[in-house]
Amino acid sequence: MGGDLRAQPVDVLDAADAAAELAALAAEIAAHDRAYYQDDRPAISDGDYDGLRRRNEAIEARFPHLKRADSPSERVGAAPAAGFAKRRHRHAMLSLANAFGEDEVGEFLARIRRFLNLDAAEPVAILAEPKIDGLSLNLLYLDGRLVQAATRGDGTEGEDVTANVRTIADVPARLAADGPAAPPAVVEVRGEVYMERAAFAELNRRRGAAGEAVFANPRNAAAGSLRQLDVAVTEGRPLRFFGYSWGEVSAPFAATQGDARAVLAGWGFRLNEPARLCADQPALMAYYGEILGRRADLPFEIDGVVYKVDRLDWQARLGTVARAPRFALAHKFPAEQAETRLLAIDIQVGRTGALTPVAHLEPVTVGGVVVSRATLHNADEIARKDVRVGDHVRVQRAGDVIPQVLAALGDRRPAGGLEPFVFPEHCPCPLATPVLRPDGEAVHRCTGELACPYQQVEKLIHFVSRDAVDIDGLGAKQVQSFFETGMIQTPGDFFDLAARDGTDWPPIAEREGWGAKSADNLFKAIEARRSIPLERFIYALGIRQIGQATAKLLARTYATLADWQSAMTQAAAERRAAPEEQRKADAVGPAFAHLCGIDGVGFAVADDLVAFFGESHNLEVLAALEARVSVEPAEAPAADSALAGKTIVFTGALESMSRAEAKARAEALGAKVAGSVSARTDFVVVGTDAGSKATKARDLGLTVLSEEEWREMAG
């Protein structure tokens, strides 16, 4: 097991290798998400990143039972940036699933038919439109008047940029009422802020003439221009806006996606054209080829096309997964490539101890952007590609990020050869602790745990990051500095900074880069985070495999910090007490069984959770935090549903809807969907050929529902 996993086709992987690679991919993609969304310093190209996600999805498709709770397919977006007020979207702003070939588009169409249980003869019209490479924006209109504008952020809340957006001529301050449909009392209009190519070139020309730094590309220019704290700066930038979607609406205004576009145009929005209604896959492929051919002639940047189911009632039934709607797909364009030289390979250490090799490249322009760094993923990737320092390499870029190293150009290697890269056996941290490659994993890890300063710092940076506790004014640089001077060693220390400032160390206001105002703002930001939602608190702890989606799932399941901690402590005790031969079983006690039974958690994630609670120093960190912060209970589900707060299990085949649609409907009504039956289960929905779960439900005296009874309860 282990070895060069990614060199193997997915269809030859066994379950053990698949599980190991899914673990490595989850950690790697999460790290890239943080680099791109939180730090604004992406480490790989869009093409490379999409490749990782595609590999992950392919393995999950072949081994659906191995899908992890922290799967990258369950995450979306980035947290809002410091400097702007945060605004919660009334309906979540999601990302889009990606396709890169005709087969994936065909599978998208097939999934729609399977989910909706459509007959093969039923036509499925798809609205296709260009995919703008800009910044997503949500506009809230009340009684036709613009009252708020916010960036997508992490999909739940974004940055309030209302004042800046009012300077964009394409954004109507009041919706026109004389179009195909009158504006509803409440409507969130969504679209993309962008900058046209000619305007971008002129802006860069003026900035260059003035001795100012130029923007890398139109998307960067648009994002940077919209996020100006000085509204006058935004007003002087040539920003445009396309409206093409919506969030919350108080009343329906269209029956199809095409009709909705016409209504948006009638309200005063510009549309991303040319769009086309396509009847089948050949029509979609023809549209894709046409737009790809016209890409260079369009006045704005695009990086693909978007397909959406035209019927809005079908869109509502299809709903969403954690990070994307089921009714839409982004068909991306091919990546751009160039050649350069590999100057050096450095090793970076993440908060879980993972060692990531980073390639330093001779700067090269790829698609109009100068790039100089790329990740090499792990030792297997370096060996598979036979990449050596000094090699000429081919790199690929598909967006505003650092490229992927595709391959070494062996025919350009010096005659005497170059030395292969030797992966270090010791961590590059000052302690030089040994490096271990866990059995079945593709990554090497430092064994220093919290003794390794790199891991300590990364965990602290993660704790205050935007998706976690989110303390404005504390970035990686500040946390590193505070750690090195002994001001912060554990997460609880952040909340003691103000009390100890000027007593245990010289005042922060007197440190280089700080002042009285910035120090005061920091202390206020810390105070504002003394109350933390449970899901953010769980995620902030940095437990291995616990991403945002899993943290939300745990918070929703256990509701309060006290109940979650009690359940995890009990589950950890059960695991310790279990005989050695039972420790690989999914259930060794009621608390651990309940944890494993949560749909989307499973054994591997449960094992890492209880391992965290089995370490005394982790419990000390938790106790210190509980003494300093208030952890808010998870939001209670809506009380107007018979399923709100209930646990439901589906078993057997459903005839009137797919299992996926049934699960999505249950969760929309506030239910928790479990994968196994236990005494804690409230309802068991039994389809045909139900099997042992139905038998167990009846033996336990649980409420068993037929499919018809379930449909009535679910409305």
CATH number of 708's domain: 3.40.50.10190
Residue 317 shares a structural domain with residue 239 = yes
**Residue 50 token pair:** 């999409």
- The mean per-residue pLDDT over the stretch 607-623 comes to 84
CB count in 10 Å sphere of residue 576: 11
User: In the predicted model, what is the mean pLDDT of residues 389-396?
Assistant: 90
Q: Could you please report the per-residue DSSP string of 9-22?
A: -GGG--HHHHHHHH
Question: Above 50 in pLDDT, residue 400?
Answer: no
Tell me, letter by letter, the H, E, C secondary structure of 655-690. CCCCHHHHHHHHHHCCCEEECCCCCCCCEEEECECC
Task: Categorize the per-residue pLDDT at 325 as very low, low, confident or very high, splitting at 50, 70 and 90.
Answer: very high
- Contacting residues for 389 by C-beta, under 8 A, at least 6 apart: 342, 343, 344, 345, 418, 419, 421
Higher pLDDT: 703 or 433? It is 703
pLDDT in the model for residue 78: 44
- Rounded CA-CA distance 574/571 in Å is 5
Tell me the residue range of the domain where 280 lies.
94-332
Residue 369 pLDDT class (50, 70, 90 cuts): low
CA–CA distance, 96 with 84 (Å, rounded to integer): 26
Mean pLDDT across 170-175: 95
pLDDT of residue 237: 94
Residue 363 to residue 338: CA distance in whole angstroms: 11
Residue 389 lies in a domain: no
- Look at residue 317 in the predicted model and tell me its pLDDT: 93
Q: To the nearest 10°, report the CA torsion of 30, 35, 40, 42.
A: -100
Is there a single domain that holds both residue 171 and residue 266? yes
The more confident residue out of 571 and 662 is 571
pLDDT, residue 15, reads 78
Task: Give the CA count within 13 Å in the CB-facing half-sphere of 464.
Answer: 30
Amino acid at the residue 86: K
Least confident range of 62-71, 215-224, 352-361: 62-71
* Residue (of 226, 229, 236, 96) closest to 155 by Cα position: 96
Q: Is residue 4 pLDDT above 50, yes or no?
A: no
Assigned domain for 547 exists = yes
Q: Which helix (H) or strand (E) covers residue 345, if one does?
A: strand 336-349
- Residue 160 and residue 204 share a domain: yes
pLDDT of residue 702: 86
- CB neighbours of 265 closer than 8 A, spacing ≥ 6? 179, 271
User: Is the N-terminal amide bond of 274 cis, ω within 30° of 0?
Assistant: yes
Per-residue pLDDT at 365 exceeds 80: no
158 falls within a domain: yes
pLDDT digits (tens, 9 = 90+) for 496-546: 999 999 999 999 999 988 999 999 999 999 999 999 999 999 999 988 888
179: CATH: 3.30.470.30
Q: Note the pLDDT of residue 144.
A: 95
Residues 171, 169: Cα–Cα separation, whole Å: 5
Same domain, 569 and 702: no
Predicted confidence band of residue 640 (pLDDT cuts 50, 70, 90): low
Single residue among 297, 332, 367 that ends a domain in this structure: 332
* Cα separation, 376 vs 360, whole angstroms: 10
For residue 186, what pLDDT is reported? 96
**Rounded distance between C-alpha atoms, residue 656 and residue 376, angstroms:** 48
My answer on whether 540 and 663 are in the same domain is: no
Q: What would the pLDDT profile of 448-465 be if each residue is shown by its tens digit? A: 666 678 888 888 999 998
In the prediction, which pLDDT does 163 show? 94
Residues 663 and 602 both lie in one domain: no
In a domain, 507, yes or no: no
* Residue 398 binned pLDDT confidence (cut-offs 50, 70, 90): low
Q: 85-99, 320-334, 444-458: which range is least confident on average?
A: 444-458
- Between helix 602-613 and helix 616-626 the angle, nearest 10°, is 80
**Terminal Cα distance for the chain, rounded:** 48
Residue 328 sits at the vertex; the CA angle it makes with 327 and 329, to the nearest 5 degrees, is: 140
Average pLDDT on 595-621 reads 82
Q: How far apart are CA 395 and CA 397, in angstroms?
A: 7
Tell me what the mean pLDDT of segment 425-433 comes to. Answer: 83
**Are residues 686 and 575 part of one domain?**
no
21-35, 225-239, 296-310, range with the lowest pLDDT: 21-35
> Has residue 38 got a pLDDT over 50?
no
**Final residue of a structural domain among 332, 355, 376:** 332
Per-residue pLDDT at 311: 97
Share of the chain above pLDDT 90, in %: 39
Question: In whole numbers, what is the pLDDT of the chain averaged over residues?
Answer: 85
Number of domains present in the structure of the chain: 3
For 341, 472, 497, 515, 524, the CA distances from 521, given in Å and listed in that order, are: 44, 8, 12, 10, 5
pLDDT score of 581 more than 70: no
Query: Cβ(44)–Cβ(374) under 8 Å?
Result: yes
CATH of the domain at 616: 1.10.150.20
- Domain-terminating residue out of 294, 313, 332: 332
Does one domain contain both 621 and 674? no
Residue 197 lies in a domain: yes
In angstroms, what CA-CA distances link 63 with 10, 54, 66, 324, 597? 10, 14, 6, 21, 18
Q: How confident is the model at residue 2 (pLDDT cuts 50, 70, 90)?
A: very low
Instruction: Note whether 584 and 652 are same-domain residues.
Output: no
Are residues 153 and 269 both part of a single domain? yes
Q: Which residue has the higher pLDDT, 376 or 342?
A: 342
pTM summary value: 0.56
Residue 377 is assigned to a structural domain of this protein: no
pLDDT at 7: 54
Q: Is residue 616 part of a domain?
A: yes
Q: Are residues 553 and 591 in the same domain?
A: yes
- 421 within a domain of the structure (yes/no): no
The DSSP-derived string for 692-705 is: HHHHHHHHTT-EEE
Predicted local distance difference test score (pLDDT) of residue 35:
56
Residues with active-site annotation: 131
Neighbours of 635 (CB within 10 A): 12
> Do 615 and 705 share a structural domain?
no
Higher pLDDT, 254 or 416: 254
1 pLDDT higher than 50: no
Please tell me which residue, 453 or 261, carries the higher pLDDT value: 261
* Torsion angle of the four alpha carbons 652, 657, 658, 663, in this order, in degrees rounded to the nearest 10: -80
